[in-house]
Amino acid sequence: MNKLTNTMKSFIKDFIEDESGLTAVEYAIAGGLVVGGMVGAFLTLGENATGQITKLSCAASGGTYTESTTGGTASCVPAP
């Protein structure tokens, strides 16, 4: 029984001290954070680009672009 206990203690100690698999986990976490940041940036850029394209198309058609002051949707009033 003592030999089994020593073997288990040795195994657990070696397992806790072994850091060889941590590098892959750290890279996976860092990669996930980078991808998350990129998705957020692209979503923000996409929304801004959509707004600018809407303004340009409204101006090209001769309309008047009006932004909402309450956070709602903007509108393009066509020229008469």
Q: Establish if 63 belongs to a structural domain.
A: yes
Q: Establish if 25 belongs to a structural domain.
A: no
Q: Establish if 61 belongs to a structural domain.
A: yes
Summarize pLDDT for 11-24 with one digit per residue, the tens. Answer: 888 888 877 767 88
Q: What is the dihedral of CA 16, 19, 20, 24, to 10 degrees?
A: 110
Query: Would you state the pLDDT for residue 52?
Result: 87
Q: Establish if 57 belongs to a structural domain.
A: yes
Q: Are 43 and 65 in contact (CB under 8 A)?
A: no
Q: Is the pTM of this model over 0.85?
A: no
Host domain of residue 62: 42-80
Query: Would you state the pLDDT for residue 41?
Result: 95
Query: Would you state the pLDDT for residue 1?
Result: 65
**What average pLDDT is seen over the chain?**
85
Question: How many domains, in total, are found in the chain?
Answer: 1
Summarize pLDDT for 49-65 with one digit per residue, the tens. Answer: 888 888 888 889 888 88
